[in-house]
Amino acid sequence: MNSFKTALLMSLLTGLFLVVGAAIGGGSGMLFAFVLAAGLNLFAYWNSDKMLLRMFGARQVDAQSAPDLYHLVERLSAKGGLPMPKVFISENPQANAFATGRNPSHAAVCVTTGLLAQVSQEELAGVIAHELGHVRNRDTLTMTITAVIAGAIGMLANFAFFMGGDRRNNGMGMIAMLLVTLLAPFAAMLVQAAISRSREFEADRAGAELTGRPLWLANALASIDASAKRTLNPQADANPAAAHLFIINPLHGGLGGLFATHPPTAERIARLRAMTGESRAPSSGPWS
């Protein structure tokens, strides 16, 4: 059901993009928007992972430079039947993590130094499993394309608003054109947020099933949420379009409610605890 919902929302997002193109130049503007969307998505498909990792100053690590983290990712990937992703660490005091890559064979998992310092090994396993859930579900590609289209809608809407569009050929009156260019970016934000929230719930479930210990991820989410609220993430603040890729919203002072790119952390924790039939998280035990 969530996959169908995601496909429907992405279709709606693409439709919004074409509508804004029509506001700019009628049929030719719609064609331009379609070609632009195709070009942007093709570029994102091949280059988004490299751009994102560079954006957050991530460095690749291996079994020699970060043995505990690398082998944890290796074990969980093997257990989930996934190819071993590349492993990265970002020098950032905020506890957080994200995954990227166009498919499971070209995936990367990145954690912050803050995460490594603030969570237990069991909680880290829960976080890595969550990110591998995104990889398995191919959310990394879906959410990248979503961000690209949503950003392009805003760019085209601004262009149409300031340039006035082609009111002779697009069949829209001045008021209708203004409504489209003003409301389309907000609609795109709503759709992008809805897609992101849906995929986070699915990755939480996938991660909990992979470790077999939902409370490890629940405890980690509580720690990361607290860290995100008290610790600035300048890299994420400078690149808010990528915020939805993190396990917990890394931004400060962002829009909430309908525009939130992540589900409420309390609801995510409650769902994970419900998977165990417990209302409180017990202390972590060893993992073999």
Dist. CA 114–CA 97, nearest whole Å? 10
pTM above 0.85, yes or no: no
Q: Tell me the residue range of the domain where 243 lies.
A: 2-276
pLDDT at 87 over 80: yes
Dist. CA 57–CA 40, nearest whole Å? 23
Six token digits for residue 120: 């237990």
Q: Are strands 86-90 and 107-112 parallel, antiparallel or unpaired?
A: parallel
% of the chain residues with pLDDT over 90: 45
**Residues labelled catalytic:** 131
% of the chain residues with pLDDT over 70: 72
In a domain, 288, yes or no: no
Neighbouring CB atoms inside 10 A of 65's CB total 12
In a domain, 282, yes or no: no
What are the CA-CA distances from residue 42 to residues 39, 54, 196 (Å)?
5, 19, 21
pLDDT, averaged across the chain:
81
In a domain, 287, yes or no: no
- Closest by CA to 128, choosing from 287, 280, 254, is 287
pLDDT at 241 over 60: yes
Give the confidence band of 40 by pLDDT, cuts at 50, 70, 90.
confident
In a domain, 12, yes or no: yes
In a domain, 193, yes or no: yes
In a domain, 180, yes or no: yes
Estimate the crossing angle of helix 2-55 against helix 139-163, to 10 degrees: 80
Q: How many domains does the chain have?
A: 1
Neighbouring CB atoms inside 10 A of 103's CB total 12
pLDDT at 281 over 50: no
In a domain, 286, yes or no: no
Tens of pLDDT, residue by residue over 46-67, are 877 888 899 899 999 999 999 9
In a domain, 74, yes or no: yes
The DSSP 8-state label assigned to residue 83 in this structure reads P
Tell me which residue has tokens 């720690």.
223
Least confident of 129-138, 173-182, 197-206, 216-225: 173-182
